[in-house]
Amino acid sequence: MLELQDWGCIPYEEAWKRQKELLEGVLHRRIPNTLVLCEHPTVITIGRTGSRRHILLPLEWLRERGVSVFEVERGGDVTLHNPGQLVGYPIIRLSEYREDLHWFVRELEQCIIELLACFGIEGHRIPGLTGVWVGGDRKICAIGLHVTRWVSWHGFALNVKNRLEEFSYIVPCGIADRGVTSMERELQRTVSMEEVKARCVEIFRQHFP
C-alpha cells in the first residue's frame, strides 16, 4: 500500500532535502512508494523550463518579506506555494505501473479531479496545459514532476484555502491570460484541510495500489 507521510507546514528547502532522502530510499527499495502531504510558508519555485522574468517583483522586496526563491529540478515554469495550499509529493516507482511520464501526469490530474468532485467542484483538463482547472480559465492545481530512474518526485500543489493574492507576485506557470482559484473560493465556504488530505490519500491509494 502507498505509504503516507504528513509533514505539516514545513519550509520548502527542508522538504526538498527530505524528498531527496525518500527518493534514495524508494530507488533502492528500502522503503515503499510514498505520498508526502504538506504545506509550505510562502515560497516561489522555478522549474526547468521556467524564467525569472515570470517573477514580477524584485527579489530584494520578496526577501524582505521572507519569500525565498528556488530553482529546482521539476518540470514546468514558476509557481508559488503558501499556507493553505495542499502540496503532494508522490515518490513512486513508475516501473511498478507504467514507465510513461505522460501517463503519470494524467493519473495525477485524474486523482485531483476525483478529489475535487468529492467536494462538489468540477475540475477538468485543458489540452496542452498541465494541471487541473475550473471553468475555462481558473487553475486550481499545478503539477510539476521530475523522474529519476523511473521514480517520481516533486508533484502537485492544490489550492485549498490559501491567499490567492500572493499569486500576483508571479505569472503562474508562465500563463499570463488565465487566473488561479481555490476550493474555498469556488465553494464560498470554509474547507477542512484534514478532510481534503483524507480524501486525497484514499484516491491516491486507489490509483496506486
String of DSSP letters for 5-57:
EEEEE--HHHHHHHHHHHHHHHHTTSS--EEEEEE-SSEEEE-TT--GGGB-S
Distances from the Cα of 185 to the Cα of 89, 92, 104, 134, 168, angstroms:
24, 31, 28, 11, 16
CB 66, CB 156: distance < 8 Å: no
CB 208, CB 33: distance < 8 Å: yes
How far, in Å, CA of 5 to CA of 194, rounded? Answer: 14
| Tally of CA atoms within 13 A in the half-sphere of 18 that contains its CB | 16
Q: Are strands 123-126 and 129-134 parallel, antiparallel or unpaired?
A: antiparallel
Active site residue 173: yes
The residue from 38, 111, 173, 200 that is catalytic is 173
Please tell me what DSSP assigns to residue 129. Answer: E
Active site residues: 173
